[in-house]
Structure 1
């Protein structure tokens, strides 16, 4: 990342962090990821757990000025994630806000095909399980930075046992690598639209957790991305 991009990154994350901190004091937001230091516990940011799928995870907390962000990188054999238990009433705090940038996309990654289902960045919102076995029945709404799939695409996971994982493609290869984007999604409305076939699109309760994920093992390539602050808000 060159010096100019670092300066822009610092400014963007500093402004977002300052504003979010003020809103948090007024009860307007629920913080999910606000890194106040580079402290890692057992190789992950404090308060998070690692989800190992394959290969060796590369997770770093990096700092520019007063702002921290998490860096995830995967190689031709790796897919992994970070998970945090987060209980949020989506009717009260329907909006998910975050900043992210991808610096390397998995070659040919395409969320529509099982053989190429690799993404540089995925943000999972996990809702309460709707059946048995519990582990296969968590409705998961996933916002992804894909490579080949078109922006705005809404689709189910291409893997047969993961049909309750639904994807919304937010960014893809048409977006500039290394550029930071600030996103805001109405998760409650997205869930109602995407999961109309599950309880009529109505969540069974508060969120179960939030996950960050990266993988490139299917395409035997590499991926890298960064995620800044993440929080739920009322508006």
Structure 2
């Protein structure tokens, strides 16, 4: 029998925040069991090449799964006029659902996480340090599986913050096993594409205080359920590279 605390931790590993409704907790608990029950094959990079995780410019969500927590964030492919290419649009109206992909990445070979996103609005007035403010117009995060059924798993969320300043790091209001990092913040850069490259291996080592050489899953989410807001954001391709 799993305790409520166990369910909360598992849910927080996937979302960065546990549901306040029992049904949502149990649903997230079930999908997390499937997320960690079967370890994915290690994604190899040939001759030091990159590992593609999300080929959104190709209109592909192959191997990406959906998890709904409250309502549905709508994910759909659109043509972005600024880029002249296909991107993944995420639209939420008081809802929270994400997309995730189980994939093992060897960070000793491809430690750099690359992505781009465009955010059209932030959430003024929320407190991101508490559960009622655990909403972000855009987030991309990685999961490191630990322990039986992922009970000691870790997660790092890179987010576009509304409150915290760029570069801020803080624990999830639900569990210290999930850490947040504000990669972008506030209104600066809204409605424009922002590209990022992070040395994930270094970030994980600094934040969790240990050497982490593999991750087990990558996820994205645009959510506004806790404060019942609205948001529309866009995601470009996601990949890991040697440098």
Same fold by TM-score, threshold 0.5 exceeded? yes
1:213 Cα deviation from its structure 2 partner = 1.1
1:83-138 deviation line (CA, Å, top 9, x unaligned): 01121111111100111110122343443222111100110111122x35x34422
Report the equivalent of 1:47.
63
- What displacement does 1:193 show? 0.7
Counterpart secondary structure, 2:162: coil
For this pair of structures, how many residues does the alignment match? 197
| CA distance in structure 2 between the partners assigned to 1:35 and 1:79 by the alignment | 20
1:64-213 matches, cutoff 5 A: 64=80, 67-76=85-94, 78-129=95-146, 131-132=147-148, 134-159=149-174, 162-196=175-209, 201-203=210-212, 206-213=214-221
CA RMSD of aligned residues (A): 2.0
Matches of 2:112 and 2:204, distance apart in 1: 11
Kindly indicate whether the alpha-carbon contact (under 8 Å) linking 2:120 and 2:233 is maintained by their aligned counterparts in 1: yes
Q: C-alpha deviations, 1:124-172, integer Å up to 9, x for none?
A: 111122x35x34422111100010111111111011xx32111111111
Look up the match of 1:60.
Answer: 76
TM-score normalised by structure 2 residue count: 0.75
The TM-score normalised by the length of structure 1 is: 0.77
Instruction: Note the C-alpha offset of 1:66.
Output: 6.2
* Residue aligned with 1:125, SS: strand
- How many angstroms apart in 1 are the aligned matches of 2:203 and 2:141? 13
In structure 2, distance between residues paired with 1:174 and 1:223 = 13
Whether the aligned pair in 2 keeps the contact of 1:105 and 1:222 (CA below 8 Å) is no
> 1:34 maps to what in 2?
55
> Does the aligned pair in 2 maintain the 1:122–1:213 contact within 8 Å?
yes
Cα deviation for residue 67 of structure 1 reads 2.1
Question: Structure 2 regions of 5+ residues with no counterpart?
Answer: 1-44
1:219 corresponding residue in structure 2: 227
1:228 equivalent to 2:236? Answer yes
